[in-house]
Structure 1
Amino acid sequence: MMIIMDRNFLGLVISVAYLAFVIGIGYLIYIRKLASSDVVRKVVHIGVSNWWFVLVTCFDTPLLPVIGTGFFIIMNGLATWHGWTQKFFGLKEEKKHHGLVYYPASLLGLVLLVYVADFPLHAATAGVLAMGYGDGIAGLIGHRFGRRKLPGSEKTWLGTGMMFLVSCVVVAGVLLAWNLSGRMFVPVILSTAFIAALLEAVSPYGLDNLSVPFGVAFWMMMPWW
Protein backbone atom coordinates (compact mmCIF):
# COMPACT_ATOMS: atom_id res chain seq x y z
CA MET A 1 0.00 0.00 0.00
CA MET A 2 2.81 2.38 0.90
CA ILE A 3 4.47 1.81 -2.51
CA ILE A 4 1.21 2.54 -4.31
CA MET A 5 0.65 5.73 -2.30
CA ASP A 6 4.21 6.86 -2.90
CA ARG A 7 3.87 6.24 -6.62
CA ASN A 8 0.62 8.19 -6.83
CA PHE A 9 2.01 11.03 -4.72
CA LEU A 10 5.00 11.21 -7.07
CA GLY A 11 2.56 11.41 -9.97
CA LEU A 12 0.79 14.29 -8.25
CA VAL A 13 4.05 16.18 -7.74
CA ILE A 14 5.12 15.63 -11.35
CA SER A 15 1.67 16.61 -12.62
CA VAL A 16 1.62 19.90 -10.70
CA ALA A 17 5.17 20.76 -11.71
CA TYR A 18 4.65 19.88 -15.35
CA LEU A 19 1.33 21.70 -15.77
CA ALA A 20 2.74 24.76 -14.02
CA PHE A 21 5.65 24.65 -16.45
CA VAL A 22 3.38 24.44 -19.50
CA ILE A 23 1.13 27.25 -18.31
CA GLY A 24 4.19 29.30 -17.37
CA ILE A 25 5.68 28.86 -20.83
CA GLY A 26 2.41 30.03 -22.37
CA TYR A 27 2.30 33.08 -20.12
CA LEU A 28 5.94 33.91 -20.86
CA ILE A 29 5.33 33.70 -24.60
CA TYR A 30 2.39 36.07 -24.23
CA ILE A 31 3.96 38.73 -21.99
CA ARG A 32 7.18 38.75 -24.02
CA LYS A 33 5.10 39.02 -27.21
CA LEU A 34 7.05 36.15 -28.75
CA ALA A 35 3.99 34.87 -30.61
CA SER A 36 0.28 35.52 -31.11
CA SER A 37 -2.39 34.44 -28.65
CA ASP A 38 -3.38 31.66 -31.09
CA VAL A 39 0.11 30.20 -30.80
CA VAL A 40 0.01 30.53 -27.02
CA ARG A 41 -3.29 28.65 -26.90
CA LYS A 42 -2.05 25.80 -29.07
CA VAL A 43 1.29 25.51 -27.26
CA VAL A 44 -0.58 25.04 -23.99
CA HIS A 45 -3.12 22.78 -25.72
CA ILE A 46 -0.39 20.44 -26.98
CA GLY A 47 1.65 20.62 -23.80
CA VAL A 48 -1.21 19.69 -21.48
CA SER A 49 -1.98 16.55 -23.49
CA ASN A 50 1.44 15.19 -22.52
CA TRP A 51 0.16 14.92 -18.94
CA TRP A 52 -1.45 11.67 -20.08
CA PHE A 53 2.02 10.08 -20.08
CA VAL A 54 2.34 11.00 -16.40
CA LEU A 55 -1.03 9.36 -15.78
CA VAL A 56 -0.01 6.16 -17.56
CA THR A 57 3.36 6.00 -15.84
CA CYS A 58 2.65 7.06 -12.28
CA PHE A 59 -0.96 6.55 -11.21
CA ASP A 60 -2.35 3.22 -10.05
CA THR A 61 -5.70 4.59 -8.86
CA PRO A 62 -8.01 7.23 -10.37
CA LEU A 63 -8.54 9.29 -7.20
CA LEU A 64 -5.87 11.96 -7.67
CA PRO A 65 -6.29 12.25 -11.47
CA VAL A 66 -10.06 12.65 -11.00
CA ILE A 67 -9.57 15.34 -8.37
CA GLY A 68 -6.98 17.09 -10.56
CA THR A 69 -9.02 17.11 -13.75
CA GLY A 70 -12.11 18.13 -11.78
CA PHE A 71 -10.16 21.04 -10.31
CA PHE A 72 -9.15 22.22 -13.77
CA ILE A 73 -12.74 21.98 -15.02
CA ILE A 74 -13.74 24.42 -12.30
CA MET A 75 -10.72 26.71 -12.70
CA ASN A 76 -10.93 26.80 -16.49
CA GLY A 77 -14.63 27.58 -16.21
CA LEU A 78 -13.91 30.49 -13.89
CA ALA A 79 -11.03 31.67 -16.11
CA THR A 80 -13.31 31.63 -19.15
CA TRP A 81 -16.34 33.29 -17.56
CA HIS A 82 -14.33 35.99 -15.77
CA GLY A 83 -12.03 36.78 -18.69
CA TRP A 84 -8.81 35.68 -17.00
CA THR A 85 -7.69 33.88 -20.15
CA GLN A 86 -7.88 37.15 -22.07
CA LYS A 87 -6.13 39.12 -19.33
CA PHE A 88 -3.20 36.76 -18.83
CA PHE A 89 -2.93 35.00 -22.19
CA GLY A 90 -4.74 37.22 -24.70
CA LEU A 91 -7.28 34.51 -25.56
CA LYS A 92 -10.20 36.66 -26.67
CA GLU A 93 -12.22 33.97 -28.42
CA GLU A 94 -12.32 31.67 -25.39
CA LYS A 95 -15.29 33.58 -23.91
CA LYS A 96 -17.32 32.63 -26.98
CA HIS A 97 -17.21 28.93 -26.16
CA HIS A 98 -16.17 26.54 -23.42
CA GLY A 99 -13.31 24.69 -25.09
CA LEU A 100 -11.10 25.19 -22.04
CA VAL A 101 -13.71 23.45 -19.91
CA TYR A 102 -14.30 20.63 -22.40
CA TYR A 103 -10.57 19.81 -22.47
CA PRO A 104 -10.17 18.68 -18.83
CA ALA A 105 -13.70 17.24 -18.97
CA SER A 106 -12.60 14.88 -21.73
CA LEU A 107 -9.52 13.91 -19.72
CA LEU A 108 -11.71 13.25 -16.68
CA GLY A 109 -14.08 11.11 -18.73
CA LEU A 110 -11.27 9.04 -20.22
CA VAL A 111 -9.59 8.60 -16.83
CA LEU A 112 -12.85 7.20 -15.43
CA LEU A 113 -13.33 4.95 -18.45
CA VAL A 114 -9.81 3.51 -18.14
CA TYR A 115 -9.73 3.00 -14.37
CA VAL A 116 -13.39 2.25 -13.61
CA ALA A 117 -14.82 0.76 -16.81
CA ASP A 118 -11.65 -1.10 -17.90
CA PHE A 119 -11.59 0.84 -21.17
CA PRO A 120 -8.57 -0.04 -23.39
CA LEU A 121 -5.69 2.22 -22.42
CA HIS A 122 -4.29 2.35 -25.95
CA ALA A 123 -7.62 3.66 -27.29
CA ALA A 124 -7.86 6.36 -24.62
CA THR A 125 -4.24 7.34 -25.23
CA ALA A 126 -4.85 7.74 -28.96
CA GLY A 127 -7.89 9.90 -28.21
CA VAL A 128 -5.98 12.25 -25.92
CA LEU A 129 -3.00 12.61 -28.24
CA ALA A 130 -5.18 13.12 -31.31
CA MET A 131 -6.88 15.95 -29.46
CA GLY A 132 -3.62 17.38 -28.16
CA TYR A 133 -1.21 17.05 -31.05
CA GLY A 134 -3.65 16.67 -33.94
CA ASP A 135 -5.92 19.56 -33.08
CA GLY A 136 -3.02 21.64 -31.78
CA ILE A 137 -0.81 21.35 -34.85
CA ALA A 138 -3.82 21.60 -37.17
CA GLY A 139 -4.76 24.89 -35.53
CA LEU A 140 -1.25 26.29 -35.76
CA ILE A 141 -0.75 25.38 -39.41
CA GLY A 142 -4.30 26.14 -40.47
CA HIS A 143 -4.41 29.61 -38.93
CA ARG A 144 -0.96 30.53 -40.21
CA PHE A 145 -0.99 29.15 -43.74
CA GLY A 146 -4.53 28.02 -44.51
CA ARG A 147 -6.37 30.06 -47.12
CA ARG A 148 -9.33 27.99 -48.29
CA LYS A 149 -11.91 27.51 -45.57
CA LEU A 150 -14.28 24.60 -45.18
CA PRO A 151 -17.87 25.36 -46.25
CA GLY A 152 -19.67 27.24 -43.49
CA SER A 153 -16.67 27.07 -41.15
CA GLU A 154 -13.72 29.13 -39.98
CA LYS A 155 -11.52 26.04 -40.24
CA THR A 156 -9.36 25.46 -43.29
CA TRP A 157 -8.74 22.57 -45.64
CA LEU A 158 -5.04 22.75 -44.78
CA GLY A 159 -5.77 22.50 -41.06
CA THR A 160 -8.04 19.52 -41.62
CA GLY A 161 -5.35 17.86 -43.73
CA MET A 162 -2.80 18.41 -40.97
CA MET A 163 -5.24 16.97 -38.45
CA PHE A 164 -5.44 13.82 -40.57
CA LEU A 165 -1.68 13.50 -41.01
CA VAL A 166 -0.80 14.13 -37.36
CA SER A 167 -3.52 11.73 -36.24
CA CYS A 168 -2.02 9.08 -38.52
CA VAL A 169 1.32 9.51 -36.75
CA VAL A 170 -0.30 9.46 -33.32
CA VAL A 171 -2.34 6.32 -33.99
CA ALA A 172 0.60 4.52 -35.58
CA GLY A 173 2.77 5.35 -32.57
CA VAL A 174 0.14 4.10 -30.14
CA LEU A 175 -0.42 0.84 -32.04
CA LEU A 176 3.31 0.18 -32.20
CA ALA A 177 3.77 1.01 -28.50
CA TRP A 178 1.07 -1.51 -27.61
CA ASN A 179 2.37 -4.07 -30.13
CA LEU A 180 -0.85 -3.96 -32.16
CA SER A 181 0.71 -3.81 -35.62
CA GLY A 182 -1.21 -6.70 -37.17
CA ARG A 183 -2.88 -7.01 -40.56
CA MET A 184 -5.34 -4.20 -39.71
CA PHE A 185 -2.51 -1.79 -38.88
CA VAL A 186 -2.92 0.50 -41.90
CA PRO A 187 -6.76 0.40 -42.04
CA VAL A 188 -6.94 1.30 -38.34
CA ILE A 189 -4.53 4.21 -38.81
CA LEU A 190 -6.30 5.64 -41.84
CA SER A 191 -9.86 5.17 -40.59
CA THR A 192 -9.11 6.57 -37.13
CA ALA A 193 -7.28 9.57 -38.55
CA PHE A 194 -10.22 10.20 -40.89
CA ILE A 195 -12.64 10.08 -37.94
CA ALA A 196 -10.43 12.50 -35.99
CA ALA A 197 -10.17 14.96 -38.88
CA LEU A 198 -13.89 14.78 -39.60
CA LEU A 199 -14.88 15.36 -35.97
CA GLU A 200 -12.45 18.25 -35.63
CA ALA A 201 -13.79 19.85 -38.80
CA VAL A 202 -17.49 19.66 -37.93
CA SER A 203 -17.29 20.47 -34.19
CA PRO A 204 -17.86 24.18 -33.47
CA TYR A 205 -17.39 26.23 -30.29
CA GLY A 206 -14.57 24.15 -28.86
CA LEU A 207 -16.62 20.96 -28.92
CA ASP A 208 -13.79 19.21 -30.75
CA ASN A 209 -12.14 18.93 -27.32
CA LEU A 210 -14.88 16.42 -26.55
CA SER A 211 -15.74 14.90 -29.90
CA VAL A 212 -12.17 14.10 -31.01
CA PRO A 213 -10.84 12.30 -27.91
CA PHE A 214 -14.02 10.31 -27.30
CA GLY A 215 -14.67 9.65 -30.98
CA VAL A 216 -11.14 8.39 -31.59
CA ALA A 217 -11.08 6.36 -28.37
CA PHE A 218 -14.37 4.57 -29.04
CA TRP A 219 -13.51 3.98 -32.69
CA MET A 220 -10.20 2.35 -31.78
CA MET A 221 -11.68 0.03 -29.18
CA MET A 222 -14.15 -1.55 -31.58
CA PRO A 223 -13.81 -5.37 -31.53
CA TRP A 224 -13.12 -5.77 -35.24
CA TRP A 225 -9.64 -4.36 -34.82
Structure 2
Amino acid sequence: MDLVVAFGKCAFVCVSWLKAAEFLSYKKITTNAQSRKVIHIGTGLIFCLTWSLFPQNNHLSKYVASIIPGLVTVLYTLIGLGLVKDQKTVNSMSRSGNPTELLYGPASYGFIIVFLTTYYWVYSPIGVTAISFLCIGDGFAGLIGYEFGRKPLPWNKNKTIVGSISFLLSSVIGTIIMFNLMQKVGLFLQFSVMLYIPYLVTAAAICTAIESLPMHDWDNITVFLTCTLLFTYFGY
Protein backbone atom coordinates (compact mmCIF):
# COMPACT_ATOMS: atom_id res chain seq x y z
CA MET A 1 0.00 0.00 0.00
CA ASP A 2 2.86 2.41 0.78
CA LEU A 3 4.24 1.86 -2.72
CA VAL A 4 0.85 2.53 -4.31
CA VAL A 5 0.40 5.78 -2.38
CA ALA A 6 3.96 6.88 -3.18
CA PHE A 7 3.45 6.05 -6.85
CA GLY A 8 0.24 8.08 -6.94
CA LYS A 9 1.85 11.11 -5.32
CA CYS A 10 4.92 10.89 -7.58
CA ALA A 11 2.77 10.57 -10.70
CA PHE A 12 0.62 13.53 -9.69
CA VAL A 13 3.61 15.79 -9.05
CA CYS A 14 5.49 14.84 -12.24
CA VAL A 15 2.48 14.95 -14.58
CA SER A 16 1.34 18.27 -13.07
CA TRP A 17 4.77 19.72 -13.78
CA LEU A 18 4.73 18.53 -17.42
CA LYS A 19 1.19 19.76 -18.03
CA ALA A 20 1.91 23.14 -16.42
CA ALA A 21 4.86 23.65 -18.77
CA GLU A 22 2.77 22.56 -21.76
CA PHE A 23 -0.01 24.96 -20.70
CA LEU A 24 2.42 27.90 -20.58
CA SER A 25 3.56 27.07 -24.10
CA TYR A 26 -0.02 26.58 -25.35
CA LYS A 27 -1.04 29.99 -23.96
CA LYS A 28 2.08 31.57 -25.53
CA ILE A 29 3.33 32.65 -22.11
CA THR A 30 6.57 30.88 -23.00
CA THR A 31 7.90 29.97 -26.42
CA ASN A 32 8.14 26.33 -27.47
CA ALA A 33 11.90 26.48 -26.96
CA GLN A 34 11.55 27.96 -23.47
CA SER A 35 8.86 25.45 -22.51
CA ARG A 36 11.02 22.56 -23.71
CA LYS A 37 13.95 23.73 -21.63
CA VAL A 38 11.81 24.44 -18.55
CA ILE A 39 10.61 20.83 -18.73
CA HIS A 40 14.18 19.67 -19.34
CA ILE A 41 15.55 21.53 -16.32
CA GLY A 42 12.82 20.89 -13.79
CA THR A 43 11.77 17.32 -14.48
CA GLY A 44 14.87 15.60 -13.14
CA LEU A 45 15.03 17.68 -9.97
CA ILE A 46 11.36 17.19 -9.16
CA PHE A 47 11.46 13.47 -9.94
CA CYS A 48 14.53 12.89 -7.75
CA LEU A 49 12.91 14.72 -4.84
CA THR A 50 9.87 12.43 -5.09
CA TRP A 51 12.13 9.45 -4.27
CA SER A 52 11.69 10.43 -0.63
CA LEU A 53 8.03 9.43 -0.92
CA PHE A 54 8.98 5.79 -1.41
CA PRO A 55 9.89 3.42 1.46
CA GLN A 56 13.68 3.14 1.38
CA ASN A 57 13.66 -0.31 2.97
CA ASN A 58 11.65 -1.80 0.10
CA HIS A 59 13.76 -3.06 -2.81
CA LEU A 60 10.79 -2.57 -5.16
CA SER A 61 10.70 1.20 -4.58
CA LYS A 62 13.17 2.05 -7.33
CA TYR A 63 11.27 -0.03 -9.87
CA VAL A 64 7.91 1.47 -8.96
CA ALA A 65 9.38 4.99 -9.09
CA SER A 66 10.87 4.31 -12.53
CA ILE A 67 7.41 3.49 -13.90
CA ILE A 68 6.65 7.24 -13.98
CA PRO A 69 9.41 8.29 -16.42
CA GLY A 70 8.94 4.94 -18.15
CA LEU A 71 5.30 5.64 -19.00
CA VAL A 72 6.09 9.18 -20.13
CA THR A 73 8.90 7.81 -22.31
CA VAL A 74 6.60 5.24 -23.90
CA LEU A 75 4.06 7.99 -24.60
CA TYR A 76 6.70 10.22 -26.23
CA THR A 77 7.92 7.26 -28.28
CA LEU A 78 4.40 6.52 -29.53
CA ILE A 79 3.88 10.19 -30.39
CA GLY A 80 7.25 10.29 -32.16
CA LEU A 81 6.33 7.22 -34.20
CA GLY A 82 3.00 8.80 -35.14
CA LEU A 83 0.96 6.15 -33.35
CA VAL A 84 -0.49 8.70 -30.92
CA LYS A 85 -1.59 12.17 -32.02
CA ASP A 86 -0.85 14.95 -29.53
CA GLN A 87 0.18 18.15 -31.27
CA LYS A 88 0.24 20.14 -28.02
CA THR A 89 2.96 17.85 -26.66
CA VAL A 90 4.81 17.91 -29.98
CA ASN A 91 4.81 21.72 -30.04
CA SER A 92 6.10 21.98 -26.47
CA MET A 93 8.75 19.27 -26.78
CA SER A 94 10.16 19.71 -30.30
CA ARG A 95 12.11 22.42 -32.09
CA SER A 96 10.38 22.21 -35.47
CA GLY A 97 6.97 20.73 -34.66
CA ASN A 98 8.03 17.40 -36.16
CA PRO A 99 6.90 14.47 -33.95
CA THR A 100 9.99 12.39 -34.83
CA GLU A 101 12.13 14.81 -32.80
CA LEU A 102 10.64 13.27 -29.66
CA LEU A 103 12.42 10.01 -30.46
CA TYR A 104 15.87 11.62 -30.20
CA GLY A 105 15.46 14.07 -27.33
CA PRO A 106 12.68 13.33 -24.82
CA ALA A 107 12.50 9.57 -25.46
CA SER A 108 16.25 8.93 -25.08
CA TYR A 109 16.28 11.27 -22.09
CA GLY A 110 13.48 9.24 -20.50
CA PHE A 111 15.10 5.86 -21.10
CA ILE A 112 18.30 7.13 -19.50
CA ILE A 113 16.45 8.38 -16.41
CA VAL A 114 14.72 5.00 -16.05
CA PHE A 115 18.10 3.25 -16.16
CA LEU A 116 19.73 5.66 -13.70
CA THR A 117 16.80 5.29 -11.29
CA THR A 118 16.74 1.50 -11.27
CA TYR A 119 20.51 0.98 -11.33
CA TYR A 120 21.79 3.67 -8.94
CA TRP A 121 18.71 4.81 -6.96
CA VAL A 122 19.85 6.18 -3.57
CA TYR A 123 22.72 3.70 -3.29
CA SER A 124 25.16 5.86 -5.26
CA PRO A 125 25.34 9.58 -6.09
CA ILE A 126 26.13 8.74 -9.72
CA GLY A 127 22.49 8.49 -10.76
CA VAL A 128 21.46 11.84 -9.32
CA THR A 129 24.58 13.50 -10.71
CA ALA A 130 23.98 12.19 -14.22
CA ILE A 131 20.33 13.26 -14.05
CA SER A 132 21.46 16.71 -12.92
CA PHE A 133 23.94 17.02 -15.81
CA LEU A 134 21.28 15.92 -18.30
CA CYS A 135 18.46 18.03 -16.89
CA ILE A 136 19.93 21.13 -15.30
CA GLY A 137 23.26 21.31 -17.14
CA ASP A 138 22.02 20.56 -20.64
CA GLY A 139 18.80 22.47 -20.04
CA PHE A 140 20.47 25.72 -19.00
CA ALA A 141 23.06 25.32 -21.76
CA GLY A 142 20.28 25.32 -24.33
CA LEU A 143 18.18 27.99 -22.66
CA ILE A 144 20.92 30.53 -21.92
CA GLY A 145 22.86 29.67 -25.06
CA TYR A 146 19.76 30.24 -27.19
CA GLU A 147 18.81 33.50 -25.49
CA PHE A 148 22.24 35.09 -25.03
CA GLY A 149 24.76 33.08 -27.01
CA ARG A 150 26.13 35.04 -29.92
CA LYS A 151 29.57 33.57 -30.54
CA PRO A 152 29.60 29.94 -31.71
CA LEU A 153 32.26 27.45 -30.70
CA PRO A 154 35.04 27.14 -33.31
CA TRP A 155 34.43 23.39 -33.68
CA ASN A 156 30.63 23.44 -33.52
CA LYS A 157 28.59 26.27 -35.00
CA ASN A 158 25.43 24.93 -33.37
CA LYS A 159 26.83 25.44 -29.85
CA THR A 160 27.89 28.72 -28.25
CA ILE A 161 30.59 29.68 -25.78
CA VAL A 162 27.92 31.07 -23.45
CA GLY A 163 26.00 27.80 -23.69
CA SER A 164 29.03 25.70 -22.79
CA ILE A 165 29.91 27.92 -19.83
CA SER A 166 26.28 27.65 -18.71
CA PHE A 167 26.47 23.85 -18.94
CA LEU A 168 29.56 23.75 -16.74
CA LEU A 169 28.31 26.15 -14.07
CA SER A 170 24.74 24.89 -13.91
CA SER A 171 25.85 21.24 -13.79
CA VAL A 172 28.04 21.91 -10.76
CA ILE A 173 25.70 24.30 -8.95
CA GLY A 174 22.59 22.32 -9.89
CA THR A 175 24.04 19.05 -8.59
CA ILE A 176 25.06 20.64 -5.29
CA ILE A 177 21.55 22.09 -4.91
CA MET A 178 19.96 18.74 -5.77
CA PHE A 179 21.94 16.86 -3.12
CA ASN A 180 21.26 19.52 -0.50
CA LEU A 181 17.53 19.38 -1.21
CA MET A 182 17.53 15.58 -1.21
CA GLN A 183 19.31 15.56 2.14
CA LYS A 184 16.62 17.88 3.50
CA VAL A 185 13.98 15.29 2.59
CA GLY A 186 15.96 12.46 4.20
CA LEU A 187 18.03 11.03 1.33
CA PHE A 188 21.84 10.68 1.05
CA LEU A 189 22.25 11.67 4.70
CA GLN A 190 25.67 9.98 4.98
CA PHE A 191 26.94 11.56 1.77
CA SER A 192 29.45 14.45 1.95
CA VAL A 193 28.68 17.01 -0.72
CA MET A 194 31.82 19.01 0.13
CA LEU A 195 34.14 16.04 -0.48
CA TYR A 196 32.30 15.38 -3.73
CA ILE A 197 32.85 18.84 -5.22
CA PRO A 198 36.40 18.33 -6.67
CA TYR A 199 35.21 15.21 -8.51
CA LEU A 200 32.04 17.01 -9.55
CA VAL A 201 33.92 19.95 -11.06
CA THR A 202 36.30 17.63 -12.91
CA ALA A 203 33.48 15.53 -14.34
CA ALA A 204 31.44 18.60 -15.29
CA ALA A 205 34.40 20.08 -17.17
CA ILE A 206 34.95 16.87 -19.13
CA CYS A 207 31.23 16.49 -19.84
CA THR A 208 31.14 20.11 -21.03
CA ALA A 209 33.82 19.29 -23.58
CA ILE A 210 31.93 16.17 -24.70
CA GLU A 211 28.61 18.03 -24.88
CA SER A 212 30.17 20.69 -27.11
CA LEU A 213 31.16 18.21 -29.83
CA PRO A 214 29.20 18.23 -33.12
CA MET A 215 27.15 15.09 -32.50
CA HIS A 216 23.62 16.17 -33.35
CA ASP A 217 20.89 14.57 -31.18
CA TRP A 218 23.39 12.33 -29.36
CA ASP A 219 24.43 14.67 -26.55
CA ASN A 220 22.02 13.11 -24.02
CA ILE A 221 23.68 9.73 -24.51
CA THR A 222 27.28 10.96 -24.64
CA VAL A 223 26.91 13.10 -21.49
CA PHE A 224 25.21 10.23 -19.65
CA LEU A 225 27.92 7.73 -20.60
CA THR A 226 30.78 10.13 -19.83
CA CYS A 227 29.35 11.11 -16.44
CA THR A 228 28.63 7.57 -15.25
CA LEU A 229 31.98 6.19 -16.44
CA LEU A 230 33.93 9.03 -14.81
CA PHE A 231 32.29 8.67 -11.41
CA THR A 232 32.65 4.90 -11.57
CA TYR A 233 36.36 5.49 -12.16
CA PHE A 234 36.41 7.94 -9.23
CA GLY A 235 35.12 5.15 -7.01
CA TYR A 236 31.52 6.23 -6.46
One of 160, 168, 192 as aligned partner of 1:179: 192
**Aligned AA for 1:158?**
V
CA-to-aligned-CA distance 1:188-221 (integer Å, 9 cap, x gap): 1321111231232226343222332342233223
Equivalent pairs counted in the alignment come to 215
Tell whether 2:146 aligns with 1:143: yes
The 1-side partners of 2:7 and 2:76 are apart by 19
Query: Does structure 2 conserve the Cα–Cα contact (< 8 Å) formed by 1:77 and 1:98?
Result: no
How does 1:69-80 map onto structure 2 within 5 Å? 69-80=69-80
How does 1:1-225 map onto structure 2 within 5 Å? 5-6=1-2, 8-49=3-44, 50-58=46-54, 60=58, 61=60, 62-82=62-82, 84=85, 86-90=87-91, 91-93=94-96, 95-96=100-101, 98-114=104-120, 120-150=123-153, 151-173=155-177, 178-182=191-195, 185-202=196-213, 204-223=215-234
Question: How far 1:107 moved relative to its partner?
Answer: 0.9
**Aligned AA for 2:229?**
F
Which residues of structure 1 form unaligned runs of 5+? none
121-130 or 187-196: which moved more?
187-196
Identity of aligned residues (%): 19
CA change 1:145–1:22 in 2 (3 A) is same
Secondary structure at 2:152's aligned position in 1? coil
CA-to-aligned-CA distance 1:45-81 (integer Å, 9 cap, x gap): 1221120221254254233134333322221111223
The 2-side partners of 1:122 and 1:46 are apart by 19
Query: Does structure 1 conserve the Cα–Cα contact (< 8 Å) formed by 2:63 and 2:118?
Result: no
Q: CA RMSD in A?
A: 2.6
Secondary structure at 1:154's aligned position in 2? strand
Which TM-score applies when normalising by structure 2? 0.78
**Aligned AA for 1:128?**
I
CA change 1:168–1:206 in 2 (3 A) is same
Which TM-score applies when normalising by structure 1? 0.82
The 2-side partners of 1:211 and 1:52 are apart by 21
Secondary structure at 1:155's aligned position in 2? strand
**Aligned AA for 1:108?**
V
CA-to-aligned-CA distance 1:111-155 (integer Å, 9 cap, x gap): 23125xxx8421111111111111111111000110112223412
CA change 1:156–1:85 in 2 (3 A) is farther
Query: Does structure 1 conserve the Cα–Cα contact (< 8 Å) formed by 2:144 and 2:163?
Result: yes
